Amino acid sequence: MKKVIGVILVLGIIGSGSYFLLFKQEGFEFTVKNQTNKEITGLYLTYNHINSDIKIPSIQPGEETKLHVTPTEDFGENSMKIQYKDSKGKQHTEYVIGYFEKGYSGEGKITLESINKNGEIQMKSKILLDSTD
C-alpha cells in the first residue's frame, strides 16, 4: 500500500512539474520562417518600453529560426512588432501582436512570404495568446 501511495505521489509531482514547464512558460515563443528566395537580414522585434530591440538572426531561404521573448519591463497595454529597413533606408513596421499586457504568453509563427526588388517584405503571422488572468 505504501508503494502505491509513493508511486501516485511521484507521478503527481512529475505531472505537475511537466505542466508548469510545458504549458506555463512565460513570454512568447516565435518561429520565423523564410519562404522567400533570398537571405533575410536586419529584422528586429520590438515593443513599447523595451530596453533593447531584439535582433532576429539572418535567415536563409527555406530556413526558420526560433526566438523566445519574455518582456520584463514595466508597462500596461502594449503591442509587438517587427521592424526593418528596405534597400532605400525606409523603415517598415509590421504588427505581430496587436495587443498584450504584462503576464501574457503565447506562441506564434511569422512567415516571410516574399521580398520585392526594393527590399519590402510581405509577411503573415499567426499568434495564439494566453493571459494569466
Q: At residue 1, does pLDDT exceed 80?
A: no
Q: How confident is the model at residue 3 (pLDDT cuts 50, 70, 90)?
A: confident
Q: How confident is the model at residue 14 (pLDDT cuts 50, 70, 90)?
A: confident
Q: At residue 15, does pLDDT exceed 80?
A: no
Helices (H), the chain: 2-23
**Which residue in this structure is represented by grid cell 509563427?**
109
pLDDT of residue 4: 64
pTM of the predicted protein model: 0.77
Measured between alpha carbons, how far is 120 from 82 in angstroms, rounded to an integer?
A: 13
The C-alpha cell at 100 is 498584450
Q: Which CATH architecture has domain 27-130?
A: Sandwich (2.60)
What pLDDT digit, counting tens, does each position of 77-133 carry?
Answer: 999 999 999 999 999 999 999 999 988 999 999 999 999 999 999 999 999 988 765
Q: At residue 20, does pLDDT exceed 60?
A: no
Q: At residue 2, does pLDDT exceed 90?
A: no
Measured between alpha carbons, how far is 132 from 118 in angstroms, rounded to an integer?
A: 42
Write the burial class of residue 45 (CB in 10 Å: 0-12 exposed, 13-18 middle, 19+ buried): buried
